Structure 1
């Protein structure tokens, strides 16, 4: 099977391929990683303000593909963090601020929720 390499303008690389290729991410896995990273980055400021810069957190995104339709009908996202040091009111307030930050700033999540137009073209570079 083929392996593809994605490049960023800042020199980063990511290996992409199908599930039967070792050492690569599938496009679906990359979408989930992008969503988790975006939510984590969007929630970082309010969490760091309340919990300190070194708070441990994990963002997990799961969801199975519907192979008949070739879509992910549901992505479930969980931010795992220890809030045991907060009382109920502090926790409620922080969760409200975090949800608002993610809803307002996470471009990946906002795009997935809204849907987007994809303009796919094939360009002949040999001409």
Structure 2
């Protein structure tokens, strides 16, 4: 298997995730760490905005400010998320009602076309786990 992404254990429920480009993220339950579920949520949220960034830039200007958030409804019994809601906040005050409607439509089309994380969740991706000796 390719080592495109990996996580190194640093302690009890503490890993450092890495990619081949040198980025690192602290994963765990402690201070300054993302839980795996939080990473999934932020991946979905940013996948949405990455997918439609060109649409937003065309309507709001190339240097537009935005914040994207995500909220999760958790099914405690299954220890899974039953629904995720993504919301982007940006200054739309310079757009007419029709322009906002068009921006919503075009951005959703881009998200539907390009958001790999959303497609993966929609498709119910399967996964495997294997334990390998060094």
Does the pair score TM above 0.5?
A: yes
CA deviation digits over 1:40-91, x for unaligned, max 9? 1111101101211111111111113322201100101111122121112222
Q: How many residues align?
A: 123
- Does residue 101 of structure 2 align to residue 92 of structure 1? yes
Output the CA distance in 1 between the equivalents of 2:103 and 2:46: 19
Of 114, 117, 126, 1:108 maps to 117
SS in 1 for 2:80: coil
- Does residue 38 of structure 2 align to residue 29 of structure 1? yes
Output the CA distance in 1 between the equivalents of 2:74 and 2:59: 36
Q: Which residue of 2 aligns with 1:118?
A: 127
Of 43, 50, 57, 2:52 maps to 43
Output the CA distance in 1 between the equivalents of 2:130 and 2:124: 19
- Does residue 63 of structure 2 align to residue 75 of structure 1? no
Output the CA distance in 2 between the equivalents of 1:110 and 1:81: 24
Unpaired runs of 5+ residues, structure 1, are none
Output the CA distance in 2 between the equivalents of 1:2 and 1:44: 34
Larger proportion of strand: 2
- Does residue 34 of structure 2 align to residue 11 of structure 1? no
Output the CA distance in 2 between the equivalents of 1:84 and 1:22: 37
* TM-score between the two structures when normalised by the length of structure 1: 0.90
Unpaired runs of 5+ residues, structure 2, are 1-11
* TM-score between the two structures when normalised by the length of structure 2: 0.85
